[in-house]
Each structure stands twice: as structure tokens, then as C-alpha cells.
Amino acid sequence: MDGVAARRPVAWVAAVVLVLEALAILFLNYVLSVVVDRQHMSMAGMDPAAMSAGAWVLGVVFALYLACCAVLLARIAVRDRPPGTFGRIVLITCAVVHAVLGAFAVGLAGWTAFVLLMVVLALLVLTLTAYGTAYGPGSGTRSATAPTRPTN
């Protein structure tokens, strides 16, 4: 095997965890929208129905984003090839989102939520680093040697 032996299972685990996280986000935002609607909560005079709908819509959008990242990770695991530029950017943004959410989770939800978010972050970073850049014939990469002098 070339590269890391555990990269396919890590990509699969990350994909499954992101699907579970997407379902949890959907459930959490559904509960939040129901609570806001039934309590008739408002912020700065905003309509409670608008806040309820906003919580639900943003939960769906974020869950779809996580599901797309999970599909991308599953595709990487099935093909056992590194993601392209767009896929790498999407996974990096997902990792950054988890890092920022982890920072907020310490103060708002506690250390357990922080640890869970850091586990997902670690899975994403491990997948990105394990697949790295494609090396080999035709990949267009050069060896890591000293730079050559330009020819005239």
C-alpha cells in the first residue's frame, strides 16, 4: 500500500459521523424552532414565526452542507483517491467550521460538546493529510529538492 493504511476507514468514519451530526443538527434546530414558536419568543420585536422558520431553514441548510461533506468523504473513501481542489476547499471549510464551533461550544455547551467537535475536526484533518497530494507519474509534482537556477 502506498501512503497511510488507515486512510479509507478514517474517511468512512468521518463520513458516517458527519451524517450523524447532520441529523443531530436537524433535530436540534427543529426543537429550537418549536420552542421559539410555542413560547412566542422574539428578539428586537421580530415575529416569532419568522424566528422559528429561520431556525428551521438554517438548520436544514447546515445539515445539507454537512451531508454534502459526508458524500464527498464517502466518495474519497470509495475511490481511495485524494479530493480535487474544490473538494479539498469544502473539507477545509468544514474543518474550520468545526474548529470555530468547538471554541464556542466550550463556553456555551460544555467540554463534552467541545470534545465531540474536536473528534470530528481530527477526523477531517486526518483525512485531508492522509490523502495529501497525488504523487506519481503524470501528477505534475516535483521532488522536494533545492530550487534550480533559471536558464538563460
Q: What is the mean pLDDT of each run of 10 residues along the chain (152 residues)?
A: 73 96 94 87 80 90 96 94 92 96 91 94 94 58 55 66
Per-residue model confidence as pLDDT tens digits over 65-97? 999 999 999 999 999 899 999 999 999 999 999
Q: Is the dihedral of CA 55, 57, 62, 63 positive or negative?
A: positive
Instruction: Give the per-residue pLDDT at 49.
Output: 85
Rounded to 5°, angle at Cα 104 from 99 and 109: 120
Write out the three cell numbers for 86: 474544490
pTM for the model:
0.80
Is the Cβ–Cβ distance between 113 and 131 less than 8 Å?
no
Contact 134, 87 (CB under 8 A): no
**Sheet strands (E) in the chain:** none
pLDDT at residue 115, as a whole number: 95
